Amino acid sequence: MKTRIHLGLLWCGVALLCALGARGQFAQGQKLVSNPEVAGALLGFATAIDDNLMVVGAPFEDGARGSAYVFEKSGAGWVQVARLIASDAKSQQYFGYTVTVKGGTIAVGAYPIGQGRGSVYLFGKAINGWNQHQKLTGDEFNGTTQNIGYFGGSIALTDDHLVVGAAGETDDNAFNYDKGAVYVFSKNNGVWNRTHKLRASDGVGGGAGSV
């Protein structure tokens, strides 16, 4: 029988793990609680799973500085093995708004709602746990108030490529805000470099930037 995994969001800061049974009905399995357990953190706001590794975002934790929790499969259950925070954590950063994982790499988006350009943090697995390797950001244009970017509001990861949406990004025309863009990064010798920036050919305000 093929088992599927589903994670549910609760305001009180738990994630529910559900399994699909033989009759096609979901049944609650393990309840995941972060350590430390923080009410209002929105643990489960973003989730990602790859084989025996799971990442769960809690973007409202600690004054919305945010964090992401890493769980590994152990026997029949899941155990927390790491808590990730940004190296430059600050209030209302919303680190953990988006998460993705592939192999030995975890990407976590910080999506400062209405306040900043956003960023994506990359973590790699090491002997002593998970370490932050890089912080990625998008472009700046003229410093206009409309260009808040929302870089990191959506992310997707493969072994060697990372795609990041920036739905709020504008261009040099201050009136063409929220045109949106998608950034593509590739890994070379352990370093992630931007290789492409994609825009819709007929892009207009509010038109693009999710992946």
Beta-bridged to residue 98, according to DSSP, are 109
**Nearest to 166, CA basis, from 117, 203, 110:** 117
Task: Identify whether the C-beta of residue 202 lies closer than 8 Å to the C-beta of residue 192.
Answer: no
- Please determine, for residue 132, whether its predicted confidence score (pLDDT) is greater than 70: yes
pLDDT at 140: 66
Edge-to-edge strand ranges of the sheet holding 161-168: 149-157, 161-168, 181-188, 191-198
pLDDT digits (tens, 9 = 90+) for 163-203: 999 887 776 555 555 678 899 999 999 999 999 998 877 65
- Please determine, for residue 15, whether its predicted confidence score (pLDDT) is greater than 80: no
